[in-house]
Structures are given as C-alpha cells and as structure tokens.
Amino acid sequence: MAEYSLIPVAVPPVKTKNRTICTALPVPESLEIFKNLDGSEPRSMRGQPPIVWDHAEGSTVADRWGNRWIDWSSGVLITNIGHGHPKIVAALRAVLDKPLLATYVFVHEDRAKLTKMLADLAPRPNDYRVFLLSSGTEATENCIKLAKTYALEKYGPERKYFISFDNAFHGRTMGSQLAGGNPRLKKWLAGENAFFAQVPFPDGYKNQDTSFDLFLKTLKEKGIKPNQIAGVMSESYQGVGPDFMPKDYAKKLEAFCRENDIVLIMDEVQAGFGRTGKMFCFEHYGIQPDLIACGKGISSSLALSAVIGRKDIMDIYAPGSMTSTHSASPLAAAAAIVNLQGLQEEKLVERAAKLGVWFNQELERIQKKYPSVLGCFQGLGLVAGIQAVKAGTRTPDPDLAVRINVKCFHKGLLMFAPVGVAGECVKIAPPLSIPEDALRESLKVFEEAVDEVMAEG
C-alpha cells in the first residue's frame, strides 16, 4: 500500500465551479490530526491520500480549510447515489427523531420493506430470501458458510472444497480471506486453507488464457473433482482491474455449477447497485447466481450488507441460528431503502451505462497515449482502471500509479490509493450521479495529470 508524504508542498491554486485548491497539500494545519491518529491507530489504517474529510456532497469532497475535490472514489465505491444525498439525510433524521436506533432481531417495519425490495432485485424474486448484515466481508463469509452447509447436509463431508479465483478480494475476515486470491494477504492463515482452492481468473491481461478449459484443467491438477466442491465464488468483476469474465466463460461456469449442484456465488459487494450500468454486474453475463453478496452501494452511506440467496439454501439454518446483532440496524436500513428508491427514480443505473460509453472511450484514449507504461485499460459503466507497468512489460509499476494519483490529488481530483495485485491500478469510480460538467472537467484534469507525470519521466 502506498505511503503518502506528510510534508506539505505548495501546489498551483485551483478555482473552478467544481474544485478549489487554496492551500499547500497536505494542509499544514491538518498535520496534527494525522499525528494524533498515529498515536491511537494501527498503521494499517494509513495509506490514503492525506486529506481530512470534513463534508461530502454529491460528487464533491471537502476539507475544512476550503479545499474541494471532484470525487473519483465514491469513498471506496460506496456512494453510488452521491455523497450525503438529501433524501438519505432526511430519512436518517426521521429515524433519529422517532427515535429507533437499535433493534437486534426484533422486527421493525423497514426491515420488512428493505428485504422485500432486495428480494425483488433477485433473478427470481419469489425464490430468493435476504439476510441483512453490516459489512461486505460478513456477506461473503456468510455465503461460504451457506454453501458449505448446503453441501454438507445434502452430500456429506466429502463435498468440502470451496473454489474461488486468483487475485480475488472478498474481505478481511478469516473465511473471506481464505477465499481471497492474493497470497500476500493470507500469509497469517498458513496451513489453514486445505479446502479452499483458487483457479486463474480469465481477465485476458494478467492471465491471457480465458478459456473455461483452464478452470477444469486447474481443478484436475489440484486433484479436486466436481463432486467434492461445495461452492464457487467470484467477484462479478475483480476489483484489481476492474477485470471482467468473458460472457461465454461465465455461462460455462454457471452450467458447470448447475450440473454438479455446486452453489454459485457472485460477490457484488463492489460491483452491485448500478456501478457497471446494470443493477448487478452479473446481469451482463446473463447468469443467475444462487447467492449474491452485497455491500457498499446498497446504502450509499451507512454500514449495511446483505446476502440475497436461493430460498432452499437460505432456509437451512433454524430460527435464531443465523442472525447478527446489527442486522437491519434501523438507520442503515432507512438509508438503504431511500438509496434503492433513488437509484431507480434518478435512473442512475441507466445513467452509469450511458455516461460510461464516452467516459471509458476517453479514458482508453488517454491510456493509449502511453501504452508502454499504461499497460491496460478496463472499464464498464462508471468503474474503470488503468494498470501502470514497467516500460514495455506487464510488470506492475506501483510507483507510477501513485505519482498519477498524487498529481490528481494536487489538482483537486480525488481517488483512493491505487489498487491491484501490487498497487499498480489507478482506479476510477465517481458517484453515478456526478454531473456531466464535473465528469468532463475531471477527465481533463486526469489527462493533464497523466501528461505532466509522463513529461517528468
């Protein structure tokens, strides 16, 4: 992960309708806050551009010293509807005024409303049920548990394998990390992953063999038979790219799971709720997962996640045995209801699809100016990524990615720190509601930043 310098540098002032940069960066007065955090938090919480968020509205993030950035982060792909949406704020106020702040598994009306709304988004609404949780990792973790329990109860202990993909990210708790595909992140789990196996992801750049035969071949090499597999989980697009499966691959994966009664799980924590121009990214592939893990954009704000899944699998656990203290937490549920309504009323899913067409063409044009060091562009809807590489190779160049990121930050365009297998991917994810003039302005800023970094050599 990038370490950003905390030494303020003078940067050219910026004043437009959408951006203001009026101080050195990081803001000298903010350094005290970073210093205090160092005294109270683990260093794992560092690693983002050194801004202190004060308020965020629509597609703008501001500090309290007068600086304002156009946001290409959406937090971390959370605020699909935009930051601080007035209807979400109003809905939260209404819950605060009741007040109703914690309910455990006692019923409240919004829980019934939200689970119904989410079930209605499933491939076959009547056949699906919804379990609400708080974080994305809990949702993927719950999917693993459900798949393994289904397999155990129906077929016995031989169905013990759980399959996921190289470079996958499903969260940071134990099960989701076991299913993750970045060995660096799971060193702490050494020896505990005997029944979790990863196969190459067919992204076409890091792995150029995109045939489903490679999936089958890899399982064979690992000595895993289809009738030993409980579940297969994949992000609908891998966050490291964003990397997408070929449609044909996804269809073959679905058929393989159906033929062998393997639970097919799509992790939509990042990809869901309109980000790619469909409500769920798996819709691009024309498949119907058995379990769908949701998070982030589900509420565009407060901590909420969900598993939307086939009724027969979701109903395995008896009353009281699959719950969580903050399941359907009233504030988070209220935010999610208004968020889902807003995505529909403001046609933000369609908007992401439409804006994404020219936006991604433009981003690709910028990448193609420097193909030897900006090795790969991927994008769909309003999520995109450019992978920085050592000149003329496919070897990640995280330093170059950070330099582009910092240059944008200095110009009033905010992205979270580069992601990817080695931090080489400049990831782009504005709120789906970003006004067109702000999107065009931010694209210009991005091109200027890339050009300047390239000119600096």
Ligand X SMILES: Cc1ncc(COP(=O)(O)O)c(C=O)c1O
- The Cα 205–Cα 394 span in angstroms is 8
The span of 50-58, 123-131, 169-177, 276-284 binding ligand X (CB under 6 A) equals 169-177
Tokens of 242: 């964003």
Q: Is 137 in the site for ligand X (CB under 6 A)?
A: yes
CB of 115 to ligand X, least distance (A): 19
For residue 392, give the amino acid letter: G
Q: Least distance in Å: CB of 80 to ligand X?
A: 13
Stretch that binds ligand X, among 5-13, 168-176, 342-350, 376-384 (CB under 6 A): 168-176
Candidates 136-144, 183-191, 327-335, 354-362: pick the segment binding ligand X (CB under 6 A): 136-144
SS3 83: strand
> In terms of CB distance, is 49 or 75 closer to ligand X?
75
Stretch that binds ligand X, among 107-115, 123-131, 167-175, 348-356 (CB under 6 A): 167-175
What is the distance of C-alpha 197 from the center of its chain? 22
Using the rule CB under 6 A, which residue among 20, 59, 60, 140 binds ligand X? 140
CB of 295 to ligand X, least distance (A): 5
CB of 35 to ligand X, least distance (A): 26
Sign of CA dihedral 283, 285, 287, 290: negative
Specify the residue, 270 or 433, whose C-beta has the smaller distance to ligand X.
Answer: 270
Which of 165, 169, 256, 273 is in the footprint of ligand X by CB under 6 A?
169
Restricted to residues 352-411, the positions that interact with ligand X (CB under 6 A) are: none
Region near ligand X per CB under 6 A, out of 132-140, 155-163, 180-188, 400-408: 132-140
What is the smallest separation between the CB atom of 78 and ligand X, expressed in angstroms? 9
Site track for ligand X across 286-325, x = CB under 6 A: ---------x------------------------------
CB nearer ligand X, residue 18 or residue 177: 177
Of residues 243 and 424, the one with the C-beta less far from ligand X:
243
CB of 244 to ligand X, least distance (A): 13
C-alpha to C-alpha distance for 191 and 120, rounded to whole angstroms:
41
Which residue lies nearer to ligand X by CB, 23 or 135? 135
- Do 166 and 201 contact (CB within 8 A), yes or no? yes
State residue 82 phi and psi, 5-degree precision.
115, 155
With both helix axes pointing from N to C terminus, report the angle between 247-259 and 212-221 in degrees, rounded to the nearest 10.
Answer: 50
**Residues 297, 431: Cα–Cα separation, whole Å:** 10
Q: Compute the least distance from the CB of residue 171 to ligand X, in Å.
A: 3
Nearer to ligand X (CB atom), residue 203 or residue 235: 235
Q: How far apart are the first and last CA of the chain?
A: 22
DSSP 8-class letter at 269: T
Binding residue count for ligand X, defined by CB under 6 A: 14
| HSE of 388, CA atoms in CB hemisphere, 13 A | 20
For ligand X, the closer of residues 49 and 295 by Cβ is 295
Q: How far is the CB of 52 from ligand X (least distance, A)?
A: 21
Give residues 67-86 in contact with ligand X (rule: CB under 6 A).
76
Residue with smaller CB distance to ligand X, 63 or 235? 235
Pair of tokens at residue 354: 């439409």
Cα-based distances in Å from 192 to 143, 174, 380: 19, 10, 36
E strand segments, 171-228 = 196-199
- Nearest of 407, 387, 415 to residue 452 by alpha carbon: 407
CB 130 within 8 A of CB 306: yes
CA distance 137 to 307: 11
Which residue number places its CB atom closest to ligand X?
136
Length, in residues, of the chain: 457
Q: Which of 50, 239, 297, 418 binds ligand X (CB under 6 A)?
A: 239
- Number of other CB atoms surrounding residue 15 within 10 Å: 10
One-letter amino acid of 293: A
Any contact of residue 171 with ligand X (CB under 6 A)? yes
Query: Least separation, in Å, of the C-beta of 137 and ligand X?
Result: 3
Residue number, 61 or 269, with CB nearest to ligand X: 269
Q: For residue 417, what is the DSSP state?
A: P
Look up tokens 């289904």; give the residue.
150
Residues 260-279 that bind ligand X (CB under 6 A): 267, 269-270
Specify whether the CB–CB gap between 412 and 68 falls below 8 A. Answer: yes
321-324 long-range contacts, CB within 8 A, separation 24+: 322/131, 322/142, 323/105, 324/132, 324/133, 324/134, 324/138
Question: Which CB sits closer to ligand X, 269 or 307?
Answer: 269
Taking the complex as a whole, the smallest distance from the CB of residue 17 to ligand X amounts, in Å, to: 31
Q: Which residues bind ligand X (CB under 6 A)?
A: 76, 135-137, 140, 169-171, 235, 239, 267, 269-270, 295
